[in-house]
């Protein structure tokens, strides 16, 4: 048979497991990994001992035993534990994975009585391993780097190697044109000041965000009163700073300048689900002779993309 005669879902038809697995593959865009950033995270046990704890969550596992095997959806509800064997006189690395062993393609398990999805430890892998080193069907969760003569596993030994199958992303642009000239920023004190008529943007942070990629452009930045020597950066909330980009033009006449900056910032947990202010700021260094400002002929554009990652 080359084409299954009944697509999902048709009343009165019988749908084999392969058709459902191909549906999972299609809906996950052929990707595999955990579903959300905090799914199936591996940590030390509540009281550190000879094993690790695996958090609840779900994932997609792509079948590897057959080209048209499709993908499996698996979930863990509540914390699970798995034993890690102690080391002898030499260190060892073990890989903790979420394994699928489908007897249609491999093994002799009976799905009626045996778990065909289970957590498994692949012992004695390379200390740089981040993927399953052989062709078994599964997704890697963590590598445990265990020192010699050790029986107790702690978080310091756990290396997170999870990947999200389809990370969530959210990208938006904000624009702003000042309604009046800002107070000129000059001097030589290397002290940041915000552009007084560019109030910035209150940008909400998704509850799942792990990183923010921020690009901020200032078109029509006004430079005057001499050569300007300084930089411009931006702040996002109380803790995050977009990397500063220098302004050093060695001119004296009043002129307009296009300034751009960008950075990738890690989102602190306390930012998630909140709204934070993104705002441009500038400063001038010793040796500066001019000043910077924005006015009604200036435009500020913020391009912000949030992305999910394992956390």
- pLDDT tens, residue by residue, 6-35: 988 899 998 999 999 999 999 999 999 999
- pLDDT tens, residue by residue, 248-305: 888 888 999 999 999 999 999 999 999 999 999 999 999 999 999 999 999 999 999 9
- pLDDT tens, residue by residue, 131-169: 999 989 999 999 999 999 999 999 999 999 999 999 999
Residues 6+ apart with CB under 8 A from 305: 169, 170, 171, 212, 213
Q: 17-160 has which CATH code? A: 2.60.520
The band of 67, judged by pLDDT with boundaries at 50, 70 and 90, is: confident
The domain made up of 169-307 has a fold known as Jelly Rolls (2.60.120)
Each domain of the chain, given as residue ranges in start order, spans 17-160, 169-307
Predicted confidence at residue 130, as pLDDT, reads 97
- On average, the pLDDT of the chain sits at 95
Average pLDDT over residues 187-201: 97
Range with the poorest average pLDDT among 14-23, 35-44, 174-183: 14-23
The band of 1, judged by pLDDT with boundaries at 50, 70 and 90, is: low
Question: How many Å apart are CA 207 and CA 177, to the nearest integer?
Answer: 29
The closest of 57, 61, 55 to 36, measured between CA atoms, is: 57
């Amino acid at each position: 048979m080359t084409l299954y005669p009944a697509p999902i879902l048709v009343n009165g038809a019988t749908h084999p497991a392969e058709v459902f697995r191909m549906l999972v593959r299609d809906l996950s865009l052929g990707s595999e990994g955990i579903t959300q950033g905090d799914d199936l995270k591996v940590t030390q046990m509540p009281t550190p001992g000879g094993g690790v704890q695996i958090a609840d969550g779900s994932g997609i596992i792509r079948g590897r035993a057959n080209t048209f095997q499709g993908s499996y959806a698996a979930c863990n509800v509540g914390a699970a534990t798995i034993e890690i064997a102690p080391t002898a006189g030499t260190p060892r690395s073990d890989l903790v994975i979420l394994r699928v062993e489908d007897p249609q393609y491999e093994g002799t398990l009976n799905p009626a009585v045996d778990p065909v999805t289970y957590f498994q430890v692949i012992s004695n892998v390379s200390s740089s391993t981040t993927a399953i080193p052989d062709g078994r069907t599964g997704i890697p969760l963590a590598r445990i780097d265990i020192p010699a003569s050790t029986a107790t596993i702690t978080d310091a030994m756990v290396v997170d190697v999870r990947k999200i199958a389809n990370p969530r992303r959210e990208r938006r642009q904000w624009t702003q044109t000042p309604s009046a000239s800002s107070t000129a920023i000059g001097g030589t004190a290397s002290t940041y000041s915000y552009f007084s008529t560019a109030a910035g943007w209150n940008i909400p942070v998704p509850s799942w965000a792990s990183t923010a990629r921020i690009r901020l452009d200032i078109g029509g930045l006004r430079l005057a009163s001499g050569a300007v020597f300084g930089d411009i950066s931006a702040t996002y909330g109380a803790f995050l700073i977009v990397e500063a980009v220098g302004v050093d033009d060695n001119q004296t006449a009043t002129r307009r300048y296009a300034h751009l900056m960008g950075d990738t910032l890690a989102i602190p947990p306390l930012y998630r689900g909140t709204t934070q202010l993104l705002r441009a700021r500038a400063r001038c260094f010793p040796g500066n002779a001019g000043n910077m400002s924005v006015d009604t002929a200036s435009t500020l554009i913020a391009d912000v993309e949030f992305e999910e990652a394992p956390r």
